[in-house]
Each structure stands twice: as structure tokens, then as C-alpha cells.
Amino acid sequence: MKKSFILLLLYLFLFTNCNKNTNSATNEPVHDLSNLTNIQYGSNKDTTGDLVPLTMDLFFPAGASSAGNYPLVMMIHGGSYLTGDKSDMTSYCNILADSGFVVASINYRLGWRTGNGQCTGDTISLIQAGYRALQDANAAMRFLMIYGRAYGIDTSKIFAGGSSAGSSIALDLAYISNNISMLFTPQEYSILGPINNADNNLTSSFKIKGICNMWGALPDSNLITASSATPTISFHGTDDNVIPYDIGYNESCSNSIKLFGSACIQRRLEFYNTPAISNFVIGGDHGPSVYTPEFLMSNTSCFFHSLIRGTPITSKIYTTLVSSCN
């Protein structure tokens, strides 16, 4: 971590000496921003016990500068907590950046004991994999809250999203605080430690304003309460046999984790009068191919911008490929 902080300071120093303009509101040097890769936000031990660096990529709107005040979206890749990379989200991130967001795509620790056949995986190690990923997402968000000004981020406008496991992590990021993790996952808390101080020693709080849920789920629908309900736009196939679109089990295995998918999330949010848009492909499987990055992110961008502007959003379910932007 010390190395990454030194690199960040060097980055700011170079721009300070190349650009003498200052932000009149903060009296800080102003520098142009372009996409950055492999920014280290922390490090931690993986499932083998090796210490691994944790990195993110950042995407910026065209012409962005540190004097800007851009909303942030954190996008998280999928891969069943086994595979995947932050680069998998590049096309999504570019579209959101073109829509005026600073976008962070993060890597997180992977790995769990899947077994030798269908429904033979170790559920405990799967839960631990999700917990480690939540720790990492928290650390990445803390990093961005602390250093957000250098990247032109408005830390009062924070959004999260992802696909599959990444979407589940984004949902958990909004709904599982450190205090809740102590009660909801006490064994993981005891073994792996708190979720709010892993990977780095940065301390900051954040509030997620909206979520893009692409075929993800929560581990318990009761996490959505009157005080925690967060506006969400969801995309899901109704015949998803990996993550249920309503209520079911991970990978359709009754001996695995019970999950509460997009349809259940929609009902809970509507119950608490919280904006919720769901797009369902009738008969669609996991990650329906009819959902292009352009369709997904244009609707997501519109939803997030409506939340920023305070534009009223009518909760609704769509089963055809039409714009849900209202």
C-alpha cells in the first residue's frame, strides 16, 4: 500500500508542475484526467495464503479534469467468485464514462472449493469467497472516498453495479455494513475480520445512491428495510439457473446458498416506495445475450442521472427490450 500512495503523490506532483491552473473553490492544482489502469487500492491474502495486490481501473468522461465534480460508479465483474477480471467490464465502463460518470472497475480476491461435480461445492468456502469480495469492494470504495478529489469525484454521488457475482457484491456493498456483517455472517467475521478495515488502513464512510443489478441477488431479502432500501435497476432472465431471478438456490443446488434475486428485490423496494426498475427476459438464461452493453448501460445511466436530478421515477417491470428511461 505504501508504494501505491507514493505513486499517487508522484502523479499529483507531476501534474502540479505541468499545469499551474488551480481550482478556485479549493485552491488546489488542476490537472487533466485520462483513463488509468492497475491503481492499487490495497492488498490481502488470497485462498492460498499469498499476499496479493488489489487493483482497479478508472475511466473518465472526455475532457475530464480534477476540477470536475463527477458522480462515481463502481462496476464489479462476475465469474462465480472463481474467474474474471476488471477488464471484463471495460465496454460497460466506457459507455458510463461517456455518460458523465467516473467509473471504477475493480479486481477482488477469487477462489472457493467447487467440488468435482454439480452441487458438490463447499458452501462454507463459497460464503467466505463472497465475504472476501465484499471486504475488497469496501476497501476500494474507501480508497475512492479518500482520494476522490484527485480524480474529480463527487463523493456524495456514489453508485455501484456489476454482473452476476459482481452484481451480488454491489448489492451486498449497499446492504451489508460492518455492524450487519457481525450479525449476519458471524463465522466469517470471526475468521476473516471486519469488512470495513481489510486490505488497507483507510477510514471513510460512503452511501450508495443507486445500484445496477445485472442478474445478481441478495443473500437475504430482509436486508432491504425502510431505512436501507436503495434505488435499483435490474436485468435478469426468468429461466436463470445460476442465480435465480426470484427466490431459489445458487446454481439451482438445494444444498447451496439460498438467494433472493431481481424479482424479489423489486417487490421489496416497491413495498418501501423506493424507485425500482426491472427488465426481465421471459425464458432468458443467465446473462441474456439480447442485453447488449449499450442497452444495459444506456438504461442504467438514465436511471442514475434521474436519481441525481431528483426526477420522479415510476417503479415498473419491463419484459420487452424497450427503454425504461423515464
Rg (CA), the chain: 19
Structural domain of 127: 2-318
Is 158 among the domain residues?
yes
Is 324 among the domain residues?
no
Query: Among candidates 214, 227, 133, which has minimal Cα distance to 173?
Result: 133
CATH number where 44 lies: 3.40.50.1820
CB-count exposure of residue 136 (10 Å: 0-12, 13-18, 19+): buried
Is 10 among the domain residues?
yes
Is 216 among the domain residues?
yes
The CB density around residue 164, as the number of other CB atoms within 10 Å, is 23
First and final CA of the chain: distance in angstroms? 43
Is 325 among the domain residues?
no
Q: Which residue has the cell 438504461?
A: 299
Whole-number Å distance between alpha carbons of 188 and 179: 13
DSSP 4-45: HHHHHHHHHHHHHHH---EETTTTEE--B---EEEEEEEEEE
Is 306 among the domain residues?
yes
Query: Among candidates 169, 154, 270, 268, which has minimal Cα distance to 211?
Result: 169
Q: What is the pLDDT along the chain (326 residues), one digit of tens a residue?
A: 544 444 444 444 434 443 445 554 455 688 899 999 999 999 999 999 999 999 999 999 999 999 999 999 999 999 999 999 999 999 999 999 999 999 999 999 999 999 999 999 999 999 999 999 999 999 999 999 999 999 999 999 999 999 999 999 999 999 999 999 999 999 999 999 999 999 999 999 999 999 999 999 999 999 999 999 999 999 999 999 999 999 999 999 999 999 999 999 999 999 999 999 999 999 999 999 999 999 999 999 999 999 999 999 999 999 999 888 86
For residue 202, CA distances in Å to 43, 58, 101, 215, 266 come to: 12, 19, 24, 31, 34
Whole-number Å distance between alpha carbons of 302 and 176: 26
Is 7 among the domain residues?
yes
Instruction: Count how many domains the chain has.
Output: 1
For residue 242, CA distances in Å to 2, 14, 56, 80, 157 come to: 40, 47, 27, 9, 32
Is 140 among the domain residues?
yes
